[in-house]
Amino acid sequence: MDALRPVIKPYAWGSRHALAGLQGREQPSAGPEAELWMGAHPAGPTGLTRDGAATTLQAVVATAPERELGTVCARRFGGRLPFLLKVLAAEQPLSIQVHPDRRQARAGFDARLDGGAGQGTYADDWPKPELLYALTDFEVLAGFRDCGEGAAALEELRLARLRPVVDVLRTGDGAPALTEALRTVLTWPRHDRAALVNAVVEACRRRARVPGPYAAAYDAVVRMSAHHPADLGLVASLLMCHRVLAPGTALFMPAGGLHAYVRGVGVELMASSDNVLRAGLTAKEVNVPELLRVTDPAVRVPVVCSVAVPGSGRTRVFACPAEEFALYRTELGALPERLVPGVGPRIVLCAEGKALLRGLDGDELPLGPGASCFLSDADEGVTAEGDGTLFVAAPGPEPVAGTAGPS
């Protein structure tokens, strides 16, 4: 059992209160703190101490992958810890984005290495499915509306400028029409972009005051415009489903699903990748052709329900179709609870309260709010007790025979 020293990412959209409060530090922090990283990704490897020496989880895994990950996991994922656990604290909207599947990631990364199409948009050759668990109310844009709803959301603004997009949605059908509508927005003539966005924001400001099915989405556009004025992503957001997750709710973001996090605090678990293609609400590159190639408007972003783990009274799992990860949540009590899963590489986060972890050899590791640890494959039979809420990140199930897995 290794206590972790997570990496804090100080992105501008972060909070000066949320992560500091979670970890019991002085509030507010000196600057915005957006993400707490717990994993072995090279862009932010988590620190730990082994044999009295400071090192990183990335180095520990690379030195002895079969010992740390277990033989099966090491072979499945090429000696890499396959997941990255985060706590996300968004006070400003993140970019509208999409992530590639495994085949697209490999092809895009190879093209980047060769200097071909899509270069600059692929940081590695891994997919990046994501699971978001809301710790607070969490506002998101997730997946496309159907054509009729998208057209209605735009028509209510009563702007002649939007007629080309509405016509695409009214005369087209399904995914192709949604793709063409998004293309129409993102390739709007440059000389008219600022005027379009300003008109949409002002129309949203008026319509947000009128009760109706799209009032919350219009209000979100107005709020997001304070951080991203004149951004075409504000218009594109109206093609997407707007929702607010209640605490305890989880969403799965599959490959090809267009999404954006607007505001809130949550636990995020993903494949250990940094592949992001952006559509708007950003000052970074928007590669429209590659974005449209990877985005699948037919993908729906489902709410993931937790199910009880057989034989465990206090542990539930948020099952989703991702090979790289699975998320478990345990509510501790006075009696020791065996952590699930019992083997393989795991990262344990204490989200609130306190926990005492105990190994079969009698070693103990206390975790307070916001603290985390790494359990290697050798750390079998670990139990926990206390009044805390634990999240355990672990590899996902092996693919069904006959399907393509990682290599």
Query: For residue 285, what pLDDT is reported?
Result: 87
Query: For residue 407, what pLDDT is reported?
Result: 38
| Band (120; pLDDT cuts 50, 70, 90) | low
How confident is the prediction for the chain on average, in pLDDT?
94
Query: For residue 119, what pLDDT is reported?
Result: 53
DSSP state of 145: P
| Band (117; pLDDT cuts 50, 70, 90) | low
Burial of 111 (0-12, 13-18, 19+ CB in 10 A): middle
Which pLDDT tens digit goes with each residue over 91-105?
999 999 999 999 999
Which pLDDT tens digit goes with each residue over 301-312?
889 999 999 887
Indicate the range of 107-116, 178-187, 364-373 predicted with least confidence.
Answer: 107-116
Domain definitions of the chain by residue range: 1-12+56-81+305-401, 138-304
**Extended beta strands in 128-186, E state:** 130-134, 138-144
Which pLDDT tens digit goes with each residue over 338-362?
999 999 999 999 999 999 999 999 9
Find tokens 């897995």 and name the residue: 405
pLDDT at position 399 over 90:
no
Q: Which CATH number fits domain 1-12+56-81+305-401: 1.10.10.60, 1.10.10.10, 1.20.1250.20, 2.60.120.10?
A: 2.60.120.10
Distance in angstroms (rounded) separating the CA atoms of residues 257 and 100: 9
Which pLDDT tens digit goes with each residue over 37-83?
999 999 999 999 999 999 999 999 999 999 999 999 999 999 999 99
- Look up residue 260 and give its two tokens: 């954006």
Distance in angstroms (rounded) separating the CA atoms of residues 8 and 42: 14
DSSP class per residue in 23-53: TT--SS-SS-B-EEEES--TTSPPEEEETTE
Contacts of 332 (CB under 8 A, 6+ apart): 314, 353, 355, 384, 385, 386, 387, 388, 389, 390
Distance in angstroms (rounded) separating the CA atoms of residues 235 and 186: 9
